[in-house]
Every structure is written in C-alpha cells, then in structure tokens.
Amino acid sequence: MRRLRGAQPMLVLIVLVALLTGLTVIAREISARAGFLVERPIVFFVWLGGLLIASLVFAWVVRRSVRRADSTSSGLLLVATALALASPLALMLLQHPAP
C-alpha cells in the first residue's frame, strides 16, 4: 500500500474524471427529450456541481498525500500529477497569446 500512496492523487483524478463523464452522459440522455434549451442548462449544472465536488475530493486527497509523502518516489509521483494537471492549462494559455 505504501507504493501506491504517491500515486493516489493520479488514481483519484482518473476515477473522478470517469465518474464526472459518466454523470454528464447520464444527465444528457435523461434530458435529451426535453429539447436543447432545457438539456444544455441541466448538463451545465451537473457538470459544474460535479467539478466542484471533484475538486474538493481531489484537494483533500492531494493534501493528505503531501503530508504522507515520505520518499523520493512519492514526491516524483506528486510532481507527475501536478504536471498532468498543468499541461492542459498551459495549452489553453497558448491559444490566446498576448498582443
């Protein structure tokens, strides 16, 4: 179990992404017959609520993992998790360069 301690944030992130995607698909399928003007806000609120809950759970897991990181490999796995989260943000910043 100690070997997986450093990988917990990455594993939790993958599980949360899968859950949020599944919830969004379910919300979209349930509200699809109501029409586009109803479906879009429902999916948006499910996505927004899911992101809020997922960010709280992820922050809790990262905080706990940082406190328990006792080896170099655990630290490197935490850095890999941070890079995996930062890379899409960096790509987004490249889409809108400063004038």
Domain interval for residue 17: 2-95
Task: Name residues whose C-beta falls within 8 Å of residue 17's C-beta, 6 or more positions apart in sequence.
Answer: 54
Q: What is the pLDDT of residue 22?
A: 92
User: Could you report the per-residue pLDDT of 15-36, keeping only the tens digit for each?
Assistant: 888 998 899 889 888 888 887 7
Pairwise CA distance, residues 70 & 41, whole Å:
45
Q: How far is CA 93 from CA 52, 63, 78, 82, in A?
A: 22, 26, 23, 17
Number of domains in the chain: 1
- All residue ranges of the chain with pLDDT < 50 are none
Helix (H, G, I), strand (E, B) or coil at 96: coil
Q: What is the pLDDT of residue 2?
A: 58
The torsion region of residue 69 among left (phi > 0), alpha (psi -120 to 50) and beta comes to beta
